[in-house]
Amino acid sequence: MTSAGYATVADLRVPGCREAAFVRSPASHADLRGVDTATARTMPGVDLVLTADDLTDVGDVPTMFGGDDPPPWRPLADDRVRHVGEPVALVVADDRYRAEDAVAAVRLDLAPRPGRPTTAAALAADEPLYDGHRDVTLEKEFGPRVAASTWARAHAVVEADLREQLLAPTSLEARAILVEPGDGGALTVRCSHQYPHGLRAGIAGAFGLAEEAVRVVVPDAGGAFGSKSPTYPEYLAVVAAARRLGAPVRWVEDRTESLQAASRGRGQDQHVRIAADAAGRILAIDLTVDADVGAHPLGAALPGQTGLAASGAYDVAEVHARVRSVLTTTAPTYAYRGAGRPEAAYAVERAVDLLAAELGTDPVDLRRRNLVRSFPHDTPTGRRYDSGDYDATLDRALELLEPQRWRDEQRRRRADPHARPLGIGVACYVERSGGEPGILEEYGAVRACPDGTFEARVGTSSTGQSHARVFGDVVARRLGVDAARVRVVEADTAEVPEGHGSFASRSAQMGGAALHEAAGGLVDRARAAGVAVDALGASGPVEVEHRFSSPPAFPYGTYAAVVEVDPELGAVTVLRLVAVDDYGTVLDPAVVHGQTLGSITQGLGQVLYEDVPLDADGAPLLDEGLLDYLIPTAAEIPPLRLAETAVPNPNNPLGVKGAGEAGCIGVPPAVVNAVVDALPDADPALLQMPLTPDTVWAALRAGRPGRRADRNGTTGGAA
Amino acid sequence: MKPPPFDWAAPTTVDEATALLARGDARVVAGGQSLLQDLRWRRVSPALLVDLAGIGELAGIGEPAGVDVAPHDGGTVRIGARVRHRDVERPRSAVPGPLGALLAETAGWIAHPPVRARGTVVGSLAQAHPAAEWCALAAGLDGRVELASTTGRREERVADLLLGPGRTSCAPTELITALLLPRLPEGTRTAVVESRRTHASYAHVAVTAARTPDGDLRLGLAGAGPTGRRAHAAEAAFAATGDPDAAGDAAAADDADPRGHPHATPDYTRHVVGVLVRRALAAVTDGREESAA
Amino acid sequence: MTPPRTTPSRSRIGELTLALRVNGTARTVTVEPRRVLADVLRDDLGLTGTRLGCEHGVCGSCTVLLDGEPVRSCLVLAVQVRDGDVRTVEGLDPQDPLLAAFETEHAYQCGFCTSGFLVLLRGALDEDPTVVDDADRLDALLASNLCRCTGYEGIRRAAVAAARQDAPDAYSAMPPSTQERNSSTCSDDQAP
């Protein structure tokens, strides 16, 4: 990393490169009556100022997962702005300082309209956000509806309103792109990106170019966490500027832009209802989700992941989910680590704890009674869980948690008025890795070179997941050669003909398997030719391609947390955090361990610290940047106890499932369950994420409500 | 997030600096750890930055000549405008005794080591951030600042300097040259207690406390209102009752004047002020004490 | 307290020429007063290992040593370091044990924050290598910078490993596990 070889987009030295900066909307929702760029155009160093009027020949911004009725999305706003930070004009200058000077000189004529920051406000609005298009941009049901008789005959029914707050993915490198126009309309695009072939298609489509005319290269990337797979409007504007100038143009997003305007994750209003019989058998789960997807339906279909996952880790006969994606006047909500699965696990695992309280049973016992035990398992919402031993992760987690010792301590503290309350929480999860139909395929190719080395090409794109190391090992192992002789090539559309990039925890499972199979093909060729594999290319390169496809896989695991609460301040301290994950066969323990740790840290961020609060119109209240949007530091990491089990994926030649999203799925429900457990006198309906001291204090002050079915939030009643 | 253009000057004396400031539209930069943020967000765009780094007389910590502004015995310590957080953070800094210990503990709460290596104590007062620990400490100890301009020098109580978030009574043509703090007698017990959300966040509420062996109590608050302030009501309640709970209640009711924050309602902040005042008192006393009254 | 600085010369209107030492070499740059040290290092001197992650002093990716002390180069104007001695990640000794320790302890994933942590730790270990002896002190130091990938465990372990190599004698008597926290094999939480 310290070597001269590491270079992000911002680090590239390109002769004649201009720097871009955007004029962005200060308003959440307004008519854009005019953009006065006259002064800006004359300022020192300024090469170009673009507004919507200059981009009429550029196509719309493509939405990756856009829902049923995507309205047009222009690279620069034309007649209306719909979120703070929406790009309105682009300035290109000889350096970023002077570009920002000109940005400050552009005047916008805005006529404010009322904002609609929440799903409730949007659904109550008189007019649609886009004329002729629905505000509910996706509405979908998963699984048959739960029969009324099921609720009626249940021994216990519990329901709750839950909120998944908006999160800022906050890769330390924000978005960055550098576009170099070449001969005959060709473009070389260097971008910090998870899906280079997708970006190539997006740019080619918007500019009417053949895909081969666009080369996308991803240099070293400073993290992504799901946020860097779309073709963002800014990218199209920068391409347009580079084409117009015939010169390289770079845009490096700064932190203010990123927190105000870049895509966010989560953002769901959930209502969950769960029923059990007297023996503690879960009979039904019903989950409704209203997702605030922001002003453009970039990720409108992602909340469907939540609906699909509404069974959790449990064998439940009736599961139903209804998901609506609702346009709001804030920046688009898109994928962020977990992308729909953390939201589902949170709803289900909170509901199971509430159900246990209603039944008067131990939450661990209730989970154990209902875990899926035979595979493959088809869920009512349409998932096929491939394999696993869910009990084993629960068992191992309990060994590491030592619940009896903590329960004794909890009792001791409850008897001591001066002791801080202590709580224990557990959460089981099942996630999905590999992707969905359309990307359940990956390209791999392995080439035997004349010098006895090998080149492995794959359609994934590392943003910090050590692909070169892991994939090099996969290929070397299959070939039976030293890993030093394998060079991994990815993230360059000129080198790799096709690919679906790196998201949805798909790289090792899909790309690794493709390379494994391609390398196997090379071994077969060598055997057929009667030569050693490293001599196969001696008289000229020999390459074997493989397109691997498989159904998605379902990693799973159990998380547990012990917390104590300072009841005066409401501050939560995690005393122990246990994570037991099963990612199938583990290819590289150190890399997978690192993924688990990083994901756990982001889960801690969601449950305790991170949040994008919005004002009444949808403007984010993050004026002090990362002093307001708080990601965990080293001093926020609690003592961890981690373990893995490894039941191989039966649909994968390497046995692998995806790793990397588990921690931010398992941690939030485990910690919230622990805090609720610690505070029997608090109102659990108010214990919503992030569990800031103020939130916890307010829940304590409100007190636990009586068990009345008509109360807002958590209700319960034995039938 | 690049700063707007400005000119820059590096005077070597206070008189040169004040002459530059007198031209108008200038800002002073010492460590620049807050000013650079404001410049990057283009919240300010002065025509000129006046850099204090070359002014030798602002560098040190010492005894002011002929100044004795504080009611405490033992005189006054003068902290020049170039003195960094880090300079008073070291265990054996230039300030000995209980005041030195309190300064060191306070400095340790500010941001993190790289910022403490640049930012200055006086600069923090000039920025007047409501959550700034130095504003709490300086107001709580009833400190004073020295100000210089082309028309002369004056002193101002910190309580009168701090007007509101980012607002002070220091005129644009004035320079704060030093903070004057009363020495604390040997045996004074000191404490800083703070609530904050992560190690990378501002303080939510901070309380600085000093209690002399003869019972004189000084409490400073940050995050409790628009500016750092002395907790007069809490001090009076404790003097009257010797009861930390009464002092906390008084602080919450009368010393706190909190503003809303997305992650801290005014009610909550008021409550935290009370809790932290009680905890600070617990740290500088032996619990409930006989009323002084 | 920082030593007084000489006044740079004015070359043309609006720009200043200043001298500074960077990684042991005397350099002269002519810059607008508003130019931030990080940008001068990256753009004028080509030292792009100093990265900008937030530009408001929080993330620490831009940390450099100024006269031996770690500072945020995004919150320092180049004109403020006239005559100063700046050390960037490129100026670390290639044999610095931190470099190897970051590799062996998996102290990075995406690598963006790495140079900031390396420089922060080099400055801190040079000043007081015992900072790694106390988990709270080490965490308070590491909390200066942000990493979004690793959860900090590898960085913490690398700091300890490098400190031991800096001063092997001081650590020879210490069992290795006493320095470790939060690993999957060792945990020091306060079990009841």
Cis, peptide link before residue A690, omega less than 30° from 0: yes
Between A616-625, B171-180, C112-121, C171-180, the lowest mean confidence (pLDDT) is in: C171-180
Task: Specify the pLDDT at position A503.
Answer: 87
Give CA–CA dist B240/B133, Å, rounded. Answer: 27
**Sheet with A107-112: strands ordered across:** A80-81, A30-36, A107-112
Q: How many CB atoms lie within 10 A of CB C190?
A: 10
Give me the pLDDT at residue B66, please: 34
Nearest CA in chain A to C115: A2
pLDDT at B105 over 50: yes
Partner-chain contact C51 A643, CB within 8 Å: no
Judge: C51–A8 Cβ closer than 8 Å, yes or no: yes
Nearest to B2 among A100, A255, A630 (CB): A100
CA end-to-end distance (rounded Å), chain B: 56
The first and second tokens of residue C159, run together, are 């700091």
The confidence band for C83, taking pLDDT boundaries of 50, 70 and 90, is confident
The pLDDT value recorded for residue A572 is 98
Collect all residues of chain A within an 8 Å Cβ-Cβ radius of residue B1: 100, 254-256
Task: Looking at the complex, report in whole angstroms how far the Cα of residue A609 sits from the nearest Cα belonging to chain C.
Answer: 14
Which of C108, C145, C156 minimises the CB distance to A1? Answer: C108
Q: Which residues pair with A161 in a beta bridge?
A: A271
- What's the pLDDT score for residue A1? 45
Mean pLDDT to the nearest integer, A622-648: 97
Phi, then psi, of B149 in degrees rounded to 5: -150, 180
**What DSSP designation does A642 have?**
E
Alpha carbons A140 and A69: distance in angstroms, whole number: 13
Question: C32 touching B, CB under 8 A?
Answer: yes
Q: Can you give the pTM of this predicted structure?
A: 0.95
Residue A703, token pair as written in the block: 């007190």
Closest partner residue to B195 among A569, A609, A630, by Cβ? A569
Q: What is the pLDDT of residues A260-289, one digit of tens each?
A: 999 999 999 999 999 999 999 999 999 999
In three-state secondary structure terms, A458 is strand
Inter-chain CB proximity C14 and B5 less than 8 Å: yes
Residue of A nearest to C33 (CA): A97
Residue numbers in A near B264 (CB within 8 A): 692-694
- Answer for the pair A694, B268: CB distance below 8 angstroms, yes or no: yes
Query: Cα separation of B161 and B127, whole Å?
Result: 11
Q: Give the tens place of pLDDT for each residue, C135-166.
A: 999 999 999 999 999 999 999 999 999 999 88
Q: How far B118 CA sits from the closest chain A CA (Å)?
A: 18
Give the residue from B58, B22, B201, B209 showing the smallest Cα distance to B129.
Answer: B201
Pairing of strands A377-378, A384-385: antiparallel
Q: Do B2 and A96 touch (CB under 8 A)?
A: yes
CA distances from A66 to A85, A342, C123 (A): 20, 20, 49
A638 and chain B in contact, CB less than 8 A: no
DSSP string, A507-522: IIIIIIHHHHHHHHHH
CB neighbour class for A94 (10 Å; exposed up to 12, middle 13-18, buried from 19): middle
* Six-digit token string for A229: 């797979």
CB atoms within 10 A of CB B84: 23
Tell me the three state secondary structure of residue A650.
coil
- Which helix (H) or strand (E) segment holds residue A49: the answer is strand A46-51
Does C43 contact chain A (CB < 8 Å)? yes
Q: Tokens for A4, please give them.
A: 């001269």
- CA separation (Å) from A132 to A66, A135, A649? 16, 10, 46
Amino acid at B230: R
Contact of A408 with chain C, judged by CB distance below 8 Å, is answered with: yes
- Answer whether residue B253 shows pLDDT above 70: yes
Closest CA in chain A for residue C152: A634
- End-to-end C-alpha distance for chain C, whole angstroms: 47
pLDDT at A364 over 50: yes
Taking the C-alpha atoms of residue B84 and residue B73, their distance in angstroms, rounded to an integer, is 26
Tell me if A627 and B201 make a contact (CB, 8 A cut-off). Answer: yes
Average pLDDT over residues B125-153: 97
Q: What is the pLDDT of residue A15?
A: 96
Q: How far is CA B168 from CA A47, B123, B174, C70, in A?
A: 42, 12, 11, 31
Residues 661-680 of A with CB under 8 A from C: none
What whole-number distance in Å separates Cα of residue A126 and Cα of residue A116?
11
Tell whether A254 is within 8 A of chain B (Cβ).
yes
Average pLDDT score over residue span B30-56: 96
Q: Please report the residues numbered 97 through 156 in chain C whose beta carbons come closer than 8 angstroms to any beta carbon of chain B.
A: 120, 124, 139-141, 143-144, 146
| Amino acid A392: pLDDT | 98
State the burial class of residue A391 (Cβ atoms within 10 Å of its Cβ: 0-12, 13-18, 19+): middle
Q: Following DSSP, what letter does each residue of A399-446 receive, concatenated? A: HHH-HHHHHHHHHHHHT-TTSPPEEEEEEEEE--BS--TTSSEEEEEE
pLDDT above 90 (res B293):
no
Query: For testing the chain A interface, which of B127, B195, B197 should be mutated: the one with the most A CBs within 10 Å?
Result: B197
For residues A657-677, give the mean pLDDT: 97
The pLDDT of residue B290 is 56
Contact C4 B53 (CB under 8 A): yes
Q: C-alpha A107: how far from its chain's center?
A: 36
Question: How far is Cα B70 from Cα B166, in angstroms, rounded to an integer?
Answer: 26
3-state secondary structure A473-485: HHHHHHHCCCHHH
Measured in whole angstroms, how far is the alpha carbon of residue A476 from the centre of its chain? 31
Bridge-based pairing of strands C16-22 and C25-31 is: antiparallel
Taking CB atoms and an 8 Å cutoff, what residues of chain B touch A565? Answer: none
For residue A607, give both structure tokens: 């449950």
Residue A709, pLDDT score:
38
Among the partner residues C109, C145, C192, nearest to A464 by beta-carbon distance: C109
* CA–CA gap between residue A499 and residue A490 (Å, rounded): 9
B59-83 confidence digits (pLDDT tens):
877 755 433 333 334 588 999 999 9
Rounded distance between C-alpha atoms, residue A19 and residue A248, angstroms: 9
Nearest to B253 by CA among B285, B287, B281, B277: B277
Helix C135-142 / helix C153-166 crossing angle, nearest 10 deg: 110
Asked if C4 and B54 count as a contact pair (C-beta separation under 8 A), the reply is yes
Q: Do C56 and A626 touch (CB under 8 A)?
A: yes
Q: Is C19 in the A-facing interface, judged by CB distances under 8 Å?
A: no
Q: Would you say residue A563 has pLDDT above 90?
A: yes
Query: Which residue in A has a C-alpha nearest to residue B202's C-alpha?
Result: A627
3-state secondary structure B86-130: HHHHCCCCCCCHHHHHHHHHHHHCCCCHHHHCCCEHHHHHHHCCC
Provide the CB-side half-sphere exposure for B256 (13 A, CA): 30
User: For residues B116 and C143, what is the distance between their CA atoms, to the nearest angstrom?
Assistant: 13
Which structure tokens are listed for C152? 């900090």
DSSP string of A287-350, one letter each residue: EEEEEEEESS-TTTTTHHHHHHTTTTTB--SEEEEEEEEEE-SSSPB---TTTTHHHHHHHHHH
Q: What is the dihedral of CA A159, A708, A280, A153, to 10 degrees?
A: -90
> In this structure, what token pair is assigned to residue A450?
């004349």
pLDDT tens, residue by residue, A3-17: 557 999 999 999 999
* Spatial distance between the Cα atoms of B284 and B271, rounded to a whole number of angstroms: 20
Q: What is the pLDDT of residue A257?
A: 98
Residue in B with minimal Cα distance to C68: B117
With beta carbons less than 8 A apart as the criterion, state whether A715 and A159 touch: yes
CA B33 from centre of chain: 15
Rounded CA-CA distance C124/C134 in Å is 14
Query: Which of A255, A621, A697 shows the shortest C-beta gap to B1?
Result: A255
Task: State which residue of chain C sits closest to B34, comparing Cα positions.
Answer: C75
Can you tell me the distance from the alpha carbon of A671 to that of A479, in angstroms, rounded to the nearest whole number?
45
C63 in reach of chain A (CB within 8 A)? no
Query: Taking CA atoms, what residue in A is nearest to C154?
Result: A594
Spatial contact of B29 and B35, defined as CB atoms under 8 Å apart: yes
- Which segments within chain B are labelled E, that is strand? 7-9, 26-29, 48-51, 61-62, 76-80, 144-149, 152-157, 162-164, 167-168, 175-182, 189-196, 203-211, 217-222, 229-230
Q: Tens of pLDDT along A413-467?
A: 999 999 999 999 999 999 999 988 888 999 999 999 999 999 999 999 988 888 8
Residue A223: alpha-carbon gap to chain centroid: 12
| pLDDT at site A482 | 96
